[in-house]
Amino acid sequence: MIDLKTHLEHRVAAALGDLDPAQRDALSLMPPKNREHGDIALGCFQLAKLRKAAPPQVAAELAAAFEPDDLIESAEAAGPFVNFRYRRAALAQSIVESVLRDAAPFGRAAATDTSIVIDFSSPNIAKPFHMGHLRSTVIGAALCRIHRHLGATVHGVNHLGDWGMPFAKMMTAYMKWGERDKLDANPMRYMFDLYVRYGKAAKEDPSLDEEAAQHFKALESGEENAEREMWRFLRDESLKAFQGPYDRLGVTFDHVTGESFYEDKMQPVLERYEKAGVLVESDGADVVDLKEFGIKVPCILRKSDGTTLYHTRDLAAVFYREQEFDPTRILYVVGAEQKLHFQQLVAVLEKIGDPIAKRVEHVPFGLILALNEETGKWEKFASRGGNAIFLDEVLDEAVAGVRKIIAEKNPDLADADRVAEKVGVGAIVFNDLKNGRVKDVKFDWSAMLAFEGETGPYVQYAGARLASILRKSDAPEDPDALLEGVDWKLLEDAAPVLLTMQEFGPAVVRAAKESEPSVITNLMLRIAGEIHSYLREHHVLRAEPELRNARLALVAAAKRVLATGLGLIGVAAVDEM
Ligand code: ARG
């Protein structure tokens, strides 16, 4: 198997003469911005710094010293860059073989010693799952898969909001008005109704919040009491209710350690801060002052009634994760509205000089917007009853929409319901991960479900076309058999597809580094586009035998890259649609 990139790296190193390890690390080959300049480019900035020369000079010297070989056709300097062109046969062989043999970066990398904690989804069990939690779930699950693909040990954590005042309010509502049979009939909706009812009632009668605070105090006392029993019951019911959407989205967690998990881990945290002499009293509460970090709001770690807060639990969670997982990074996939919370968290860690502060990263994201038909404006997504959704209903709506399109386009499709489920759910996930995550997501049903345009269905459809060709061809599934005797020169005209596939590795690395799954989503759109145009211009099944074999290998590889990329972002591939 040839690995073009490694080969090129060696050749570059050889052309440059003796390279120390630092200079070798400074070689970063990336796809060029403009394909016409070459197949892969080497930016000479870092190398120039190490050699104390100007980048264009280093580039010119390198290009002049570089000799073409069987795999590399040319090297040309362009300003601070050197652009290389692969021989077409080598390009085809290297990519198709690596993909079909599941070699990195197309297959999963060998294990590294990177450990990544990803705190995501984390709904409040006291409140309904809202659109923000859908985004966190989808982005966080994608990041888990992406880091795993790169060989990291990933700890995906659902930091459930199952403690504190929000939960106490729910508990109070259920203790007052709850009816078991109504809960059983539709737990999510019923909890939502109770939540709305509590909100209204508490506005009229503020003593309700005091009651909730009492209940929380009783829960946090650690005693086996009515509150504890109610907590256990509501937590179990919520988890059961969340499982449906999690299954449909293909989302799993390595740890479901909610806020309640830190019940017995907060006292040591408070003591640590006390000992460090940074816990000060303010109106009977224990707080950490953060003015030196430019943060005006102090961080409260214990309320005057002795109970703990969201921050106290997050702090306990950082220390717990530090100890258990020795993390390289801890990512918090949480909406941008909690920016201050995480700034405070980092500052509180810095206050005692804990180096873990540098590893805590808030990964914020924008809102989901829906079109208000009356005003024609995009507004924060809401369903009947306000700023809340029933995730299952949103998924159902997408699936029903796709089912309708399939009924028109492909009425004979076997298994249409199963396909519609994958395509409908996939469309929502894809739409969420299409733009940079801090951007707001527009929930435009018809645009997002369409089989044309920048959509999940469009990419899935490219995969289905490839699957259909393979099905009709009787091409062997075994990669050895499929690759045997392929004349790679015959794939010369597939360079646009292959070069786009070549970007897969760097895209995954960038997505991980920047916590930005959209890098992969966009590459998948481009690969799908190249496949659609390749298939428009080339026959596969009807080509001459030699050509047919070469093209079938390409088709199998392209299908695999699409499936892997879609898999990373959490969209299923389908063989027919
Ligand atoms: N439960 C919180 C909410 O719904 C999100 C928790 C995020 N994770 C964390 N470690 N704070 O807003």
Q: pLDDT at position 386, please?
A: 52
Tokens of 242: 């969340």
Q: Which atom of ligand 1 lies nearest, measured to the CA of 342?
A: 11
| Spatial contact of 418 and 444, defined as CB atoms under 8 Å apart | no
How far is the C-alpha of 84 from the C-alpha of 15, rounded, in Å? Answer: 13
Average pLDDT, consecutive stretches of 10 residues, N- to C-terminus, the chain (577 residues): 87 84 81 88 90 93 93 95 96 96 96 98 81 90 98 98 90 94 88 89 95 94 93 91 93 96 96 97 96 96 94 98 98 96 98 97 93 84 59 91 96 96 97 95 90 96 97 93 96 96 95 98 98 96 96 98 98 96
3-state DSSP of 484-505: CCCCHHHHHHHHHHHHHHHCHH
Contacts of 447 (CB under 8 A, 6+ apart): 453, 455
Mutate to test the pocket of ligand 1, among 120, 121, 159 (most ligand atoms within 8 A of CB): 159
Residues across the chain: 577
Mutate to test the pocket of ligand 1, among 334, 342, 363, 387 (most ligand atoms within 8 A of CB): 334
Judged by DSSP in three states, 330 sits in strand
Q: Which one, of 501, 553, 509, 547, lies nearest residue 527 by Cα?
A: 501
| Spatial contact of 528 and 535, defined as CB atoms under 8 Å apart | no
How far is the C-alpha of 545 from the C-alpha of 477, rounded, in Å? Answer: 18
How far is the C-alpha of 571 from the C-alpha of 558, rounded, in Å? Answer: 16
| Spatial contact of 433 and 523, defined as CB atoms under 8 Å apart | no
Q: pLDDT at position 388, please?
A: 58
Instruction: State the virtual CA torsion across 344, 346, 348, 354 in degrees, nearest 10.
Output: 180
Cβ of 134 below 6 Å from ligand 1: no
How far is the C-alpha of 155 from the C-alpha of 119, rounded, in Å? Answer: 8
Q: Greatest CA span in the chain, whole angstroms?
A: 84
How far is the C-alpha of 56 from the C-alpha of 45, rounded, in Å? Answer: 9
Cβ of 261 below 6 Å from ligand 1: no
Cβ of 123 below 6 Å from ligand 1: yes
Cis amide leading into 105 (omega within 30) = yes
Q: pLDDT at position 443, please?
A: 87
Q: pLDDT at position 370, please?
A: 84
The DSSP secondary structure of 433-475, one letter per residue, reads TSS-TTSPEEE-HHHHH-SSSSSHHHHHHHHHHHHHHHHHHT-
Cβ of 421 below 6 Å from ligand 1: no
Tokens of 361: 């990263």
Cβ of 119 below 6 Å from ligand 1: yes
In order of their start, the domains of the chain are 4-86 (3.30.1360.70), 115-363 (3.40.50.620)
Q: pLDDT at position 536, please?
A: 96
How far is the C-alpha of 178 from the C-alpha of 191, rounded, in Å? Answer: 9
Query: Locate tokens 């020369």: which residue?
Result: 53
Judged by DSSP in three states, 114 sits in coil
Separation of 366 CA from ligand 1 center, angstroms? 15
How far is the C-alpha of 347 from the C-alpha of 374, rounded, in Å? Answer: 44
Q: pLDDT at position 382, please?
A: 62
Q: Which one, of 433, 182, 566, lies nearest residue 575 by Cα?
A: 566
Tokens of 253: 């967690």
Instruction: State the virtual CA torsion across 331, 334, 337, 342 in degrees, nearest 10.
Output: -30
